[in-house]
Structure formats: C-alpha cells, structure tokens
Amino acid sequence: MLTVNQTRQKVAQGRSAYGLLNAVPTPWMVEMIGHAGYDFVILDTEHMSTNPESLEHMIRAAECASVTPLVRVPGVDRAAIARALDSGAQGIVVPRIRNAEEARDVVQMARYAPAGQRGITGGRTTGFGTLPLKDYLRQANQEVLI
C-alpha cells in the first residue's frame, strides 16, 4: 500500500499545510524538519548538487519523520521529474512554469496512464510487487502532489 500523502490530503480538505525548502542536502536535516512538526519538506535539486543516492536517503528520512517529501526539479524536465518520483517523492515542485501548456505537460509527466505519460519502473516505489499494478497506478496518480 502506498503511503497517503498527508500534505495533499490537508490541502484537499481546505486546511493549511506548512513546510520548508531544505537547502542542506542531508537526511538528518530532513528528519529534524519532520520532528519539528512541519507537514512537508521541499528537497531542492534545482540549485543544490544532490546526487540520486543522497536524494533517496533524504526521502527515506522524510518518511521516517512523517513529513511529506517533495522534490524541486530544475524545470519542465521529464527525466528529472521521473527520477524524483521514482526515488519516492510524494510530489514535485516545478519552477518557472510559463503557461498552461507547460503546466499540463508537467501533470502528464508526473502521472501514469490513462491520466498521464509517466513510465513505470519496479522497485521501492511500486512496493517491490506487493501491490497489484492496477492498484499501484491508481493510488500513485491520486497521491502525487504537483
């Protein structure tokens, strides 16, 4: 079962959600943000030179501290969006969206068919096959925050 995106749920209910942009790419800082009571943390891969392994560790730290991990990608970039979500991010932050077409493109990149065009990989985000594929795709599309 996928983790419920608590931040998305709060926003959908009209409640406020509070978070921080983390410019210190270390898991312990992410855990501290979660234990401080924030709802979400934005892990910056636009300005920070965060390698993929460090990003995965920060996402796991967020999960352990019950804070929603969002990843700020460099821009409208299919590969960067896929890597962030495949690493376990529960949402993405895309800077410099210039028009409605780019916004629609980003949504397509972040969601699986039939709602989008995201490609699928096995492993951690899919629960290593513990969830039927149809259920995973539906839940992932529902829980992603864009």
| Region for residue 70 given its phi and psi (left: phi exceeds 0; alpha: psi -120 to 50; beta: otherwise) | beta
Residue 37, number of CB atoms within 10 A of its CB = 10
Q: Is 35 a catalytic residue?
A: no
Give the separation between CA 110 and CA 142, rounded to whole angstroms: 11
Give the separation between CA 78 and CA 2, rounded to whole angstroms: 23
Residue 55, number of CB atoms within 10 A of its CB = 21
**Catalytic residue (one of 18, 21, 37, 47):** 47
Report the catalytic residues.
47
